[in-house]
Amino acid sequence: MIVDGKALAEKIKAELKADVSKLNKKIRLAVVKISSDAATEKFLEQKRKFAEAIGVDVRIYEIHPDISTNKLREKVSEIVHIKENNGVIVQLPLPPQINTQYILDAIVPEKDPDMLSSKSWGAFAAGSARRRTKILPPVAGAVKAVFDEHKVEIRDRNAVVIGAGRLVGKPLATWLLNAGATVSVIHRGTKNPEEYTRKADIIISGVGKPKLITPVMVKDGVVAIDCGTSESPPGAGQASRQVVGDIDPGVSEKASLFAPVPGGVGPVTVAMLFKNLVELSK
């Protein structure tokens, strides 16, 4: 079965629109924007459209890319302390001279729908048993929503996460562990990764390498979730660059559930960002 992320995101959108209406208060997401490349603009446009659809305001704070780490930290702190801003996100990546984590740590957990500050991460990593937080990092929340929708069992399953990045790999590995899966994380130093993937009941990849996972690397019935994005060059019958994932589409023929790129987890991740925002606003 192929995951229809757009349909699931629309379902979540309708639920959030009702929730926002019941709150009877204005909700605003503040976005700190430094980069102005095409990818950033595309992400922001997706967020603006989703916010408008559910009745949430988005305020963009544009910062010059030559700013220092300390000046940016001060600016983010000011934005966080504006009462009307219910949530604050910093659009990544930041310029190379910036200490990214120091900037993200300026966002208090009560206004951190991306869950990228050290305090938010600590509450999440502590596990559901501690009940330190009611929300999940958006990508983990998105995969959970997909699993809930398709009734995917996690406990006691063998799960392989490919990539150990802070935005995708680490939160997903942590969430799977907290949910009771046996988790292996594949990174650059892992030898013979196919030995892990062939035994996996669940594979989630988020490294941004086209067709990294091929059909021969997975077993029949695997749940394959693609969270990696990159661009394929023009050619082979296509006139422009195309967004592609880490998992070869051929894997879908062996998988019991396959979330492709584009159209799989991506739209749901945006939806979960706003679900977090609405939850924090309560």
For 157-167, write each residue's pLDDT tens digit.
999 999 999 88
Question: Helices 5-23 & 38-54, crossing angle to 10 degrees?
Answer: 50
Residue 2 maps to a domain: no
Mean pLDDT across 47-73: 96
Calculate the average pLDDT of the chain. Answer: 92
pLDDT at residue 126, as a whole number: 83
For residue 5, the model assigns a pLDDT of 95
Provide the pLDDT confidence category of residue 129 given band limits of 50, 70 and 90: very low
Report the sign of the C-alpha dihedral through residues 230, 193, 147, 276, in that order: negative
Residue 121, domain member (yes or no): no
Q: What is the pLDDT of residues 72-115, one digit of tens each?
A: 999 999 999 999 999 999 998 899 999 999 999 999 999 999 99
Tell me the residue range of the domain where 206 lies. Answer: 138-266
Q: What total of structural domains would you count in the chain?
A: 2
The confidence score (pLDDT) of residue 84 equals 96
Q: 167-186, pLDDT tens digit by residue?
A: 899 999 999 999 999 999 99
**80: domain CATH number?**
3.40.50.10860
261 and 146 belong to one structural domain: yes
The residues pairing with 242 across neighbouring beta strands, listed in sequence order, are: 232
**Domain stop point among 64, 92, 111:** 111
Asked whether residue 62 is domain-assigned, the answer is yes
Same domain, 143 and 243: yes
Res. 262: pLDDT tops 60:
yes
Tell me what pLDDT residue 132 has: 62
Question: Which pLDDT belongs to residue 237?
Answer: 54
Is 262 found in the same domain as 147? yes
| Across 191-201, average pLDDT | 95
- Residue 166: CB partners within 8 Å, gap ≥ 6? 116
Which residues are paired to 162 by β-bridges?
Answer: 186, 205
Q: What percent of the chain has pLDDT over 90?
A: 81
In angstroms, the Cα distances linking 68 to 54, 78, 99 are 35, 15, 9
Tell me the CATH number at 254: 3.40.50.720
